[in-house]
Structure 1
């Protein structure tokens, strides 16, 4: 591999790493030398990501958990152990008329996108702070920065994640833990409706949607020593959509 391995000796937990941005992030961190804990719900897909990382000379293992279940979230923490990098990527989106969102889906949306990251940070960040180093990266969204019709609930979860990023930076960065977020724009991932993503991409300054790898490269930078003076930031990776 020609990729600079600037994360040798670092362990990274990536949630939602069996597809999309999470998969691209896990594989990119592996190329940089991190030992990656690949989280997901699907054993076959998660194992395939592990195989990709190890085939390229990296280190990885898979841990299955449904993060909307508090007991399984606790199990993920136990199996992951202390980590140097936490990537809060797992979650899902829901778009549609406000009146069409039922209570169960609303609760699941906030459980996956807000509650799970909160309690993962609560479990893992104090250990990072105690040893004086660590990095937390939250995958937010431009939906939390702008108004999108049909995106009230989803946008609220991502705006909350951005707010928690700033608060966690204030809480943990004095102890050496950097906390940042990436506010991603439309990304072509398997779980998203392609027609919606393409339409949102057409509204950006670059007139296109992103590939997962484009977000993963920013994430790897934030995890690396090159970003040693970056904390409390919500970095827009949205093709310029929130600039207009």
Structure 2
């Protein structure tokens, strides 16, 4: 028999509610059928805020329009992957991309520079153009190339320029593997890069790509239960929410202690 109301006998970490600017969970999806998305939203829709169609999958998905409609009916923003916009820019078809995305009903777009040699000025131009077309913009900071050293001062400069160009969110690059950008090759969090992004300005929230549980736990323990997390698997929504609330061993001591002290 399903439980109509959650139990109340524990003091768990306080969470924001949708729609929100802090505490968002940003899913990356690489091809879930419509029925699978519907199933997950019915079960855990309260725990997901943004659903990204990874890299260029939205361009190939015949059901993308119906999926976007389904997501929005559950209060979830739909976003194409940044690689798709990079591909459009590379072929000189960014305007066609924006028209296509608007016609399908996407709420937001991601502007990145990890797959191409997109110059910094072109990235800023794409952010401004996306805002002109009415999109909420997730601007990715950092690159996907593990051979390119990530420097906090450069990340901070890039973040502030993105904000000045109209970015609504900053996304800390971590890739699907969690081994580049924000992380070392071993998947450890670069605290100096986190500090740089947090210093960019409170008016634009930072979203941290964190595909691994230990990365999610570090961010929750250091930045709180309402840190913004991205590159979350569609199958980990409940697990990530438990982590945020202190209901996993990785965060139990810090999050439940914080809950009991308020």
TM-score normalized with structure 2 length? 0.35
Decide which structure has greater helix share: 1
Using CA pairs below 8 Å that are at least 6 residues apart, which structure has the higher relative contact order? 2
TM-score normalized with structure 1 length? 0.37
Rg larger in structure: 2
